[in-house]
Structure 1
Amino acid sequence: MRIAVEGCMHGDLDNVYATLLHLQEVQNIKIDLLLCCGDFQAVRNEKDLESLNVPPKFRSMNSFWKYYSGEKVAPFPTIFIGGNHEASNYLWELYYGGWAAPQIYFLGFAGVIKFGNIRIGGLSGIYKSHHYNMGHYEKLPYSEQDIRSIYHVREYDVHKLLQIEEPIDIFLSHDWPVGITAGGDLKALLRQKPFFEQEIQEGTLGSKPAAELLGKLRPPYWFSAHLHCKFAALVQHEKDGHSTKFLALDKCLPGRNFLQIQVELHLP
């Protein structure tokens, strides 16, 4: 199975799908599935823009609405999680997961889905300690504070994922698991993002709940986005000797590493 993985979509479905269709043609391959690691921006209409936490000058309809309205159909089955720049009013309607548009499935705030013989789990949002132990208290119409807190990961959602006993093959998170940089080329990362160094030293770069899930679920593959750079790491799990291949990708912009096709997923 060929699975394409995309970092931050930022609503630019047209360009991502066009890139994949081009790769299919020139490489003579078939892509079976697209995974997106957050900031998908499933904006259906101008009203949805009010729940999108970006400065007003950057609020744009982009292209999801074409797939929602039926003007276009996604050329590949697409599964996505939420990030910190979403039309959160719409994603809240799909809290437990569901079809955001034909061929486009939202994993929910925390969820698992089976695609073929592959089990895919995901955690939406980003970690902020001051909201982690709270419930989902936000109500429409969202205030300026609500449109930020709504996408902060809650302990309740993480707890549900920690109950999973069957193996997960692929896991998606928007945040990187905290400590993941120890398993990759840290020097190369800091050459690209030198301002990460202090957070890495303090142990605050990334998500503690994601790291807890990584240690519990131990999936063969983990994909993330959020920090707008490509970074690969390998995590060895002492508990059972298994390992997790981690890959973070950039946002959809020309010349950026926002997309990768996993030609073969070596799954049991």
Structure 2
Amino acid sequence: MYFAAVGDVHGHMYAMLGLLQAWESRDRQKLAFVLQVGDFEPHRQQADLATMDAPNRYRKLGEFSDFYSKKAEFPWQIYFIGGNHEPYGFLDLMPAGGEVTKNCYYLGRVGFCELAGLKIVGLSGIYRENLFLHTARPDIAQIGSRSNKDYIGFIQSDIDRALDFQSADILMLHEWSTDTIAADDIESFQQWLPSLKYEVLGNEYARMLIEFLQPKLVLCGHMHKSYRNQVSFSPGTVTDICCLANVQQGKDAIAIFKLAPDGTIVEVSN
């Protein structure tokens, strides 16, 4: 059984489909489902753009409206989390998640699903220090009178709910965790993005979830950078880290995994 993970889509639904269908055609296999790591941008209509945190030049309706209006249909079930560029005025109507259109499901601010026997946990948003300790986010009725940035972060209670799941086979994050980058790769990362400071990349709460839930696989996006690593936060456990580019960057935006009968998850060529 094969499934796919996809990086930031930013409304380019047909580019995402093209990458995944190209793999199916080349390898003559069918994907069972697709996991998407945020900045999906499921804008139904122009009004949704006003509830997204992004500069005006990036506020574009995108192609999700075709799928929402049933002009097009996703050929697999897609499960996505929220990033920092989402229409939260729409998504926060279903903070616990739900179906947003046929074959397309939002996992919520913190969510869980079981697919092919895999326990999948997702955390939406990014870490923002000024938001994290809030007991609650502003109500969506306040959108328009509050900064859209007030809706893009996860808060402490989200982390607590994620920890309540106790374990996970796959953990979906938008933002990277601290200690994602191997020491040998730091120099190449700094060449890629000279302003990058390793010590401030990612957030410690994502790492806390990895350490506690001990997933076999962590998926993340946000940085628009393809990267793989393995981490071990406790003896005898190894977690594969899969960071993905955005779909406009091509094949680096997708990862294809094979699920073996014994539950092992192995990345295959895309």
Same fold (TM over 0.5): yes
Of 105-114 and 12-21, deviating more is 12-21
Change (3 A) 1:142 1:26: same
Deviation string, structure 1 residues 173-192 (Cα, Å, up to 9, x no partner): 00101122137733332332
Report the counterpart of residue 40 of structure 1 in structure 2.
Answer: 40
Deviation at 1:141?
Answer: 4.6
Change (3 A) 1:5 1:155: same
Instruction: Give the Cα–Cα distance (whole angstroms) in 2 for the partners of residues 185 and 195 of structure 1.
Output: 15
Q: How many residue pairs were aligned?
A: 262
Change (3 A) 1:263 1:92: same
Report the counterpart of residue 218 of structure 2 in structure 1.
Answer: 222
Instruction: Give the Cα–Cα distance (whole angstroms) in 2 for the partners of residues 145 and 215 of structure 1.
Output: 35
Report the counterpart of residue 154 of structure 1 in structure 2.
Answer: 155
Instruction: Give the Cα–Cα distance (whole angstroms) in 1 for the partners of residues 14 and 223 of structure 2.
Output: 22
Aligned 1:15-164 pairs, distance under 5 A = 15-134=15-134, 135-143=136-144, 145-164=146-165
Instruction: Give the Cα–Cα distance (whole angstroms) in 1 for the partners of residues 81 and 176 of structure 2.
Output: 14
Unaligned segments of structure 2, at least 5 residues: 265-270
Instruction: Give the Cα–Cα distance (whole angstroms) in 1 for the partners of residues 162 and 13 of structure 2.
Output: 28
| Partner SS, residue 11 of structure 1 | coil
Change (3 A) 1:153 1:173: same
Deviation at 1:84?
Answer: 0.4
Deviation at 1:255?
Answer: 4.4
| Partner SS, residue 194 of structure 1 | coil
Of 83-92 and 184-193, deviating more is 184-193
Instruction: Give the Cα–Cα distance (whole angstroms) in 2 for the partners of residues 116 and 247 of structure 1.
Output: 20
Instruction: Give the Cα–Cα distance (whole angstroms) in 2 for the partners of residues 28 and 178 of structure 1.
Output: 37
Structure 1 stretches of 4+ with a deviation exceeding 6 A read: none
Report the counterpart of residue 246 of structure 1 in structure 2.
Answer: 241
Report the counterpart of residue 191 of structure 2 in structure 1.
Answer: 191
Change (3 A) 1:182 1:66: same
Deviation string, structure 1 residues 15-73 (Cα, Å, up to 9, x no partner): 11122112211221111111111001010011111111122222111111111111111
| Partner SS, residue 68 of structure 2 | helix
Deviation at 1:138?
Answer: 3.9
| Partner SS, residue 82 of structure 1 | coil
Instruction: Give the Cα–Cα distance (whole angstroms) in 1 for the partners of residues 162 and 27 of structure 2.
Output: 37
Taking only the aligned residue pairs, the percentage that are identical comes to 24
Deviation string, structure 1 residues 78-111 (Cα, Å, up to 9, x no partner): 0100000001111101100111111001110001
Instruction: Give the Cα–Cα distance (whole angstroms) in 2 for the partners of residues 225 and 110 of structure 1.
Output: 17
Quick one: which amino acid aligns to residue 220 of structure 1? K
Change (3 A) 1:241 1:32: same
Quick one: which amino acid aligns to residue 152 of structure 1? G
Report the counterpart of residue 5 of structure 2 in structure 1.
Answer: 5
Report if the CA contact (8 A) 1:172-1:222 is conserved.
Answer: yes
Instruction: Give the Cα–Cα distance (whole angstroms) in 2 for the partners of residues 146 and 222 of structure 1.
Output: 30
Instruction: With the length of structure 1 as denominator, give the TM-score of the two structures.
Output: 0.92
Report if the CA contact (8 A) 1:222-1:245 is conserved.
Answer: yes
| Partner SS, residue 255 of structure 2 | strand
Report the counterpart of residue 179 of structure 2 in structure 1.
Answer: 179
Deviation at 1:13?
Answer: 1.0
Report the counterpart of residue 252 of structure 2 in structure 1.
Answer: 257
Give the superposed CA RMSD: 1.8
Report if the CA contact (8 A) 2:43-2:87 is conserved.
Answer: yes
Instruction: Give the Cα–Cα distance (whole angstroms) in 2 for the partners of residues 194 and 230 of structure 1.
Output: 17
Unaligned segments of structure 1, at least 5 residues: none
Quick one: which amino acid aligns to residue 257 of structure 2? Q
| Partner SS, residue 252 of structure 2 | coil
Report if the CA contact (8 A) 1:184-1:231 is conserved.
Answer: no
Instruction: Give the Cα–Cα distance (whole angstroms) in 1 for the partners of residues 58 and 145 of structure 2.
Output: 16
Instruction: Give the Cα–Cα distance (whole angstroms) in 1 for the partners of residues 251 and 23 of structure 2.
Output: 16
